[in-house]
Structures are given as C-alpha cells and as structure tokens.
Amino acid sequence: KAGVTQTPRYLIKTRGQQVTLSCSPISGHRSVSWYQQTPGQGLQFLFEYFSETQRNKGNFPGRFSGRQFSNSRSEMNVSTLELGDSALYLCASSIQTSGGTLNTDTQYFGPGTRLTVL
C-alpha cells in the first residue's frame, strides 16, 4: 500500500499570505490528523478529521483550519501567516473505528510539508 502523501513538500511564503497544504491518507484510512513540528515546541497536535468532520482540535488559533473530503483526503489552511508558523507540518492517517471509549488506532505519518515564512 502506498503511504501517506503530502503536497507540496516545500513552501516559501511571506507574512500575511495564506497557504493550503494537502494530505492523502493511506487507502482505507478514514481519519486524518495534522501536527506541527518545530525545534522549540516539538510535535504539537493541530486537529483531526473523520468522515469530513473535525472531531478533535488542538490549542492553535483560528488562523489554522482544515477540511476533509469524501475520499478522506484532507487539506490544511493557514491564513495571515506569521513568522512563527514556519514549521514542518505533518499529516497522519489511521483506519479509525468510530465510537468506543478507548481509541486504539495507530497513526502513520507522511513526509511532511516544510513551510518557511519570510
């Protein structure tokens, strides 16, 4: 099976611009999560989508948003870019069974999109 793919791999933007990142999950995986990785803060959870609905959200400002399509592909958007948004943005997918009191899915990560904000 093909792994998680992310496009583009690299992006350079300037402050104030907006950006859209794309993620295609592993075939058959229904959940897509996004993470931000920076040297200072490490890996931080942004949000998770399942069945085209945002099901869980991390502690990031509203400038960060996302969506999921019916084929489980997901996009992440960052508006009004700031210098501090420079990071590696990782997408992870999991099969995700719905419901249950304990989620036991395993997340598989893509290569990431490296965003540089100038």
Partner 1 sequence: AQSVSQHNHHVILSEAASLELGCNYSYGGTVNLFWYVQYPGQHLQLLLKYFSGDPLVKGIKGFEAEFIKSKFSFNLRKPSVQWSDTAEYFCAVSGGSQGNLIFGKGTKLSVKP
Pairing mode of beta strands 87-94, 31-38: antiparallel
CB of 48 vs partner 1, minimal distance in Å: 6
Residue 40 or residue 62: which is nearer to partner 1 going by CB? 40
Residue 15 or residue 57: which is nearer to partner 1 going by CB? 57
Which positions lie near partner 1, rule CB under 8 A? 31, 33, 35, 42-45, 48, 55-56, 58, 90, 92, 94, 96, 99-112
Answer left, alpha or beta for residue 71, where phi above 0 means left and psi between -120 and 50 means alpha. alpha
DSSP state of 9: S
CB of 104 vs partner 1, minimal distance in Å: 5
Identity at 35, one-letter amino acid code? Y
Residue pair 103/33 in contact (Cβ under 8 Å)? The answer is no
Residue 66 or residue 110: which is nearer to partner 1 going by CB? 110
